[in-house]
Chains A and B, each alone.
Chain A
């Protein structure tokens, strides 16, 4: 397997640095969806062909072979690593000759790789097999295969898992299609939390209390969300388990605000902002013992903690110099140093790779920025409308955020260089405060 992955990585490198943009032949392009939607910051992409998946068992009355292939194709296009050609008819099952003819045609139009999906529609489950081929070799070598099984209702999840496996084969790291985004829907005064697939599909409610629910954040195991709710009248912190029949927990219900939760990377603690001692300060709650440790001590506002992926440092916001800026401290609350100055900088979110921190800067309107963890190289990622609330995908390559560039608040996603900004939650309601989940268990 390592050897195969290495070979696949070589293929990707070859494609990215040596091969020009893929122009499908006109014949092939008829009736074909070409995903050229992602510029990926100028990097060349791997051209991958994804015919409709082949149904090898069961009656495909709902067109699963076409739907699952198109979702996998959209996932790979979203990744920014691939140019995807999909929508061609499925390759017949158990017909090696037809397979070779199809790959030869795709290779002739510039495809570097091909994904052949095989679906088995069982009464109780949906099985999918991914077969990945290297079309740059004369024999169209099989690079990797992997099988997945999901409940019948989770065809989208099967597609996402296949896409993530393809990304793994070419980059050495799983993709992020099998993730969720939690966000807030509704106007001011009536906000509820929902969870959707990372691409905005299949949104389901998490809260339905008719109150104001704010700023959901995922736990590292992707099984729970911490959030602020006014459902008991005051802004208190709760923890919900959106995929389980499990009652929500009250995390903090002190006098004053109970806001801005952030799970530690090991999931054992939650940093948060409480004003119970007179002033908004950052605290850390140990989930095992219930002990509450105060980290900041300053007359100004200290809020919005975000953990370094090592768990050893916490960035936060303080207005101690007159307006909010980014600060970093050790996880014990010591060694506080200022990271940005002179701005109105809020909403810090430490990159999962550890090297940079996303934040929101106000200069008239708001935009998403990145800054290195040593305070160097602040750079703006967004423009147009108002853009807030950046949240990292678990691979550190994408960010989701809220934008009103279309006239109402929607959730957008982009690559971490600011390219490929696309709306992912486009329902009629105002959508704000996204939180991108870790990879699902």
Chain B
């Protein structure tokens, strides 16, 4: 308990340092590297071993949590207001937000899908009190670790497009499901094409 309390204090200090220094050198389209919500720490009680992930935060290189006092996060690892990760189960789909689709092993936004995203962006801007969860998905081809990364890139490029159309980055959270949650389970190109998608969910802010 002493250890956890110490780390919570440290984490708080680091968050303050990040916010206070306003050191966001990346464009606003970059997703914040926020710390894990402290709630996840509760899954690891009682261990004498280090539980690095629950304490580790944004800094990308050579950063140690010990001694962390005075450690300055590497620039570019956080935007001004790092959002905690909202609970996934609180989000729900709305009919106004249409999925967009991708070519095999690609994560660039195709022209027709850009028009879909324009409409999605317009809806989101007219509903400014909603938070957005973008799910990135893959078809079953390829292998699952790579597809987790590919789904992440699809969600990320979708997010970047929405941000470029004026949707606030700090309203958006992304999640990759890789090939784990297909919309369609047949083994055909028509079905695979439906699975290579970004899917949108919202919840009140």
Contact = CB atoms under 8 A, between A and B. Distances in A.
Interface stretch (A41-49, A87-95, A106-114, A285-293): A285-293
Interface in A406-441: 432-433
A388 B143 contact: yes
B143 A347 contact: yes
A251 B52 contact: yes
B176 A360 contact: no
B146 A246 contact: no
B149 A301 contact: yes
A280 interface: yes
Contact of A277 (B43, B64, B77): B77
Interface stretch (A123-131, A198-206, A254-262): A254-262
Contact of A253 (B36, B77, B156): B36
Interface residues of A, number: 64
Contact of A317 (B26, B34, B46, B146): B146
Contact of A234 (B33, B63, B175): B175
Contact of B146 (A234, A346, A433): A346
B145 A249 contact: no
B61 to A, nearest CB: 5
A317 B148 CA distance: 13
A247 interface: yes
A259 B144 CA distance: 10
Nearest to B42: A250
A236 B40 contact: yes
A275 B32 CA distance: 10
A360 B144 CA distance: 11
B50 A293 contact: no
B88 A301 contact: no
A380 interface: no
A344 B150 CA distance: 13
A191 interface: yes
B180 interface: yes
Interface of B: 26, 30-37, 39-41, 43-47, 49-56, 58-66, 76-77, 85, 87-89, 105, 141-146, 148-150, 152-153, 156, 173-177, 179-182, 185
21 contacts: A188-B179, A232-B40, A233-B87, A234-B85, A248-B43, A250-B44, A254-B35, A255-B32, A256-B33, A256-B176, A259-B148, A273-B145, A277-B33, A278-B26, A285-B53, A289-B52, A289-B66, A324-B142, A344-B105, A344-B142, A347-B145
